[in-house]
A and B are shown apart, each in its own frame.
Chain A
Amino acid sequence: MRVPPLTALAASVAAVLLLPGGAASCLRQVPTIASEPPQQDAPVQGHDETRARGAMAVEPSEVLAGMFYDGATVHVSAVVPRDAGVAMLCRGEEHPLILRKRGRVLGLLWMNVGDVSFRSVPEVYLLNTSSPLGNLRPAPHELSVGFEALARGCGSESVDPPLFDELVRLKQGDGLWGTAEGAVHVQPAEEDMALATTDFRLPATAEPGVYRILLYTFRDGREELTGSADLRVRRVGLSAFIADLAVRHGTLYGIMAALVAVAVGLLTGLFFGLGSKHGH
């Protein structure tokens, strides 16, 4: 008589355990190209300064990560020469990165077979361009943007190209790295200038910190860095308080986390206990 719940439970656990990788990616946030217009009233500190340096505007210039933060769409606009190719890059802070390498042991079993260290890897690398990278001049191997250029900068003694491609796949899976060819829209403006605009979708997994937005233009076979601006992501409110406590007062934070857990557990037990006492 007890067989149905038994099989049902085992089946549901099996279903959860055996979820293929595809299901995991469904659960992750899917980066979307936002269509909302730039927020005219957003705080744009440093706006004038960035205009002066590279005639570009980033809105908002500061992203606030509160309790319900779910990533942000950042709108960038810049004035560029009308006949130029345009690339806009959102680049995160760079850190050394150590990853586990998976390989076959005894030609049969896949497991960790060692570490791979990259000297300097940007947290985020989102590149939007006005046309396919292959159409820009100079040729891709001479460009200072794109994964090919990034591979040169991330260097490591032990990294061969296939491993860098794996890093790209891993980061792309997280939505932290990506190239979107054709995502920069160029509209002719007065004289021989044009207005280039693009949206970056910054996922919630992008760590708080300072990001650089870089503007590159391509003309007459030459690449030129024509503008740059900072984009700050910071935690606010309760999420800032908790993250701060976790970093600065780790032990106190751990004790409090454990105490709250015990209290909630006991209270729930007490609540259910009272219920069953009345029940019997």
Chain B
Amino acid sequence: MDLSIYLPVAASSVSMLLLLGLGGLVGFLSGLFGVGGGFLMTPLLIMIGIPPTVAAASDSNQIVAASSSGVYAHARAGSVDFGMGFLLLLGGIVGGSGGVVLIRWLRLMGNADFVITLTYVVMLGGIGSYMFVESLQSMRVGKRSHEAGARPSPYGRLVQALPWKVRFRRSNVHLSVLMPLTLGAVVGALAAVMGVGGGFIMVPVMVYLLRMPMHVVVGTSLFQILFTCINVTVLQASVNGTVDFVLALFLLLGSVVGAQVGAVVSKRLNADQLKILMALIVLVVTSKMLFDLLLTPHFLLTYAGGQ
């Protein structure tokens, strides 16, 4: 028995079990890796016939629930760096506004979609491959404490030279507040330009550039995603009227449970295992995007407002 529910804003009828299942899967990934999961959910919703604009907006409503469930679980385990998260968020808001201006400028230049898509694929592919190789190497080397990484690279020296240093206790790093603010702004701008949530860029930035421990990265990333998605949900509802609450409700009932399970599994795996799993998923997403770019599409016309 497959009971269908009518989605009043999307004007579409979808199986409730399918929505709960999709929510559960994406929530699990969210709790496990600290990503929103929009990269997976939005295309899946479009595939089952939800209009693209409604799919993206309702997904951010769903992410609010999954990430608050995840943040709660991670905060209990002491793996959320609220200070760092707040600074990243602040930077993200400024960067996001900048990104909106940037994309308008890119569109005026023409062929913006080409530049954006290619940058996205190259960047995801690069991040995925780097994470994969790096975590594979450190798994092979064993527990030879690569976190100590004592070589003072030019990047390391630059970081040390920055003023206004603060100790972030949870992350166990001593950094200038300019670091999270700037990186938050850069990720925020990229996310706005590419029309994605940014979790996939933010997590590697926290791991490799802010040098935070992986478990704190997951919780802190979710904290930041929570507030970003609250903002997106309210804006989408008030400006575009594209949030379907019935759709979001069924997705989030699945995803809050998935996020809890993900958070538990996240604690059981070590940092390298988490990184290599995430690297694999990033690489799968990149391959899927490459296939979409190379294969002749089924339809030569599409409804506006997709990814």
Contacts and interface: CB of A to CB of B under 8 A. Distances in A.
Interface in B39-76: 40, 43-44, 47-49, 61-62, 64-73, 76
Can you list the 10 inter-chain pairs with the closest CB atoms, starting with the nearest?
A254-B237, A269-B72, A265-B68, A204-B13, A261-B64, A239-B8, A261-B65, A265-B69, A251-B238, A268-B256
Interface stretch (A53-61, A68-76, A147-155): A68-76
A205 B12 contact: yes
B304 interface: yes
Contacts of A243: 8-9
Nearest to A3: B273
A268 B296 contact: no
A266 B68 contact: yes
B32 to A, nearest CB: 9
Interface string A236-280: 001110110011001101111110111011101110110010000
A10 B9 CA distance: 33
Contact of B114 (A16, A21, A111, A204): A111
21 contacts: A13-B281, A14-B284, A16-B40, A18-B288, A68-B4, A100-B304, A102-B299, A102-B301, A102-B302, A204-B6, A246-B8, A246-B9, A254-B234, A256-B245, A257-B248, A258-B64, A265-B66, A265-B252, A266-B68, A268-B69, A273-B73
A33 interface: no
Contacts of B8: 65, 235, 238-240, 242-243, 246
Interface in B3-35: 3-6, 8-9, 11-13, 18, 25, 29
B241 interface: yes
B11 A264 contact: no
Interface stretch (A131-139, A168-176, A212-220, A224-232): A168-176
A269 B68 contact: yes
Contact of A68 (B5, B40, B114, B117): B5
B299 A169 contact: yes
B13 A69 contact: yes
A102 B302 CA distance: 8
Contacts of A100: 301-304, 306
B284 A250 contact: no
B304 A98 contact: yes
Chain A, interface size: which category?
Answer: 35 or more
Nearest to B114: A105
A17 interface: yes
Interface SS of A by simple majority: helix
B196 to A, nearest CB: 15
Contact of B49 (A27, A242, A266): A27
A272 B68 contact: no
A143 interface: no
Contact of A112 (B113, B118, B280): B113
A268 B284 contact: no
The residue among B11, B44, B76, B234 with the most chain A CB atoms within 10 A of its own CB is B11
Nearest to B233: A258
B297 interface: yes
B127 interface: no
Contacts of B296: 110
Interface in A6-42: 6, 9-10, 12-14, 16-19, 21, 23-24, 27-29
